[in-house]
Amino acid sequence: MTAPHQRGRSGRRPGSPDTRSQILEAARTEFAERGYEIASMRGIATRAGVNAALLHHYFGNKEQLFVAAVELPFDPDDVAAAMATVSREHRGERLVRTFFGIWEEPSHREPMLALLRSAMAHESAAALLRQFGTRVMVPRVTPSVQGPDAELRAEAAVSHMIGLALARYVLELEPLASTPLDELVALVGPVVQRYFDG
């Protein structure tokens, strides 16, 4: 997994650490307050007190800046790519393996938990995560899901995995917490596949 928010498109870190965190903070506020559709690169640049061209140069487009602002330790495109490499009937298992592969790494886990914690405590963080879910993650999962209620099924599948992550890594419920990854994938993969099959 790459960490796209660590670097701009050019591969350099955008500006000074202060400018960078100022821009990401402005982006989080803009996305939370105005919503993904209405939020604009120009509006974020104004909030951050930087040039809009600079924003485009360092963060690419609105979606890339949004993903950077959410500060998740994985690239949503990597998740989509991992699923695209297998046939339709194996995508449930592949998604479960990719998802838990990220969580198994303690350094990846903490930023995801921090985001969930904030979302449960503050509506602005919940709004950010809601938009990340519906605008970034669900569109990357939905193409693997059959049927007219594909979005609903994609959300059911992803929220199933989030619930399992909470039980395994936060509550440390046994035997779930110490079940080897392969067994977990074998148990949950077919269930996620069932949601995919519609």
> What CA–CA distances, in Å, run from 157 to 21, 29, 101, 190?
33, 29, 16, 11
What number of H helices and E strands is found in the chain?
11, 0
In whole angstroms, the minimum distance from the beta carbon of 73 to its own copies comes to 17
- The radius of gyration computed from the CA coordinates of the chain, to the nearest angstrom, equals 18
By C-beta, is 81 or 167 nearer to its own copies? 167
In whole angstroms, the minimum distance from the beta carbon of 179 to its own copies comes to 6
In whole angstroms, the minimum distance from the beta carbon of 164 to its own copies comes to 5
Place of tokens 């199933």: 160
Q: Is residue 30 left, alpha or beta, with left meaning phi > 0 and alpha meaning psi from -120 to 50? A: alpha
User: How far is residue 185's CA from residue 26's CA, in Å, rounded to a whole number?
Assistant: 38
In whole angstroms, the minimum distance from the beta carbon of 28 to its own copies comes to 16
By C-beta, is 52 or 113 nearer to its own copies? 113
By C-beta, is 39 or 41 nearer to its own copies? 39
Cβ–Cβ < 8 Å for 167, 176 = yes
By C-beta, is 54 or 156 nearer to its own copies? 156
In whole angstroms, the minimum distance from the beta carbon of 93 to its own copies comes to 15
**Chain residues in the site for its own copies (CB under 8 A):** 113, 116-117, 119-121, 126, 129-130, 133-134, 138, 149, 151-153, 155-156, 158-164, 166-168, 170-176, 179, 187-188, 190-191, 194-195
By C-beta, is 121 or 181 nearer to its own copies? 121
Cα within 13 Å of Cα(84), Cβ side: 8
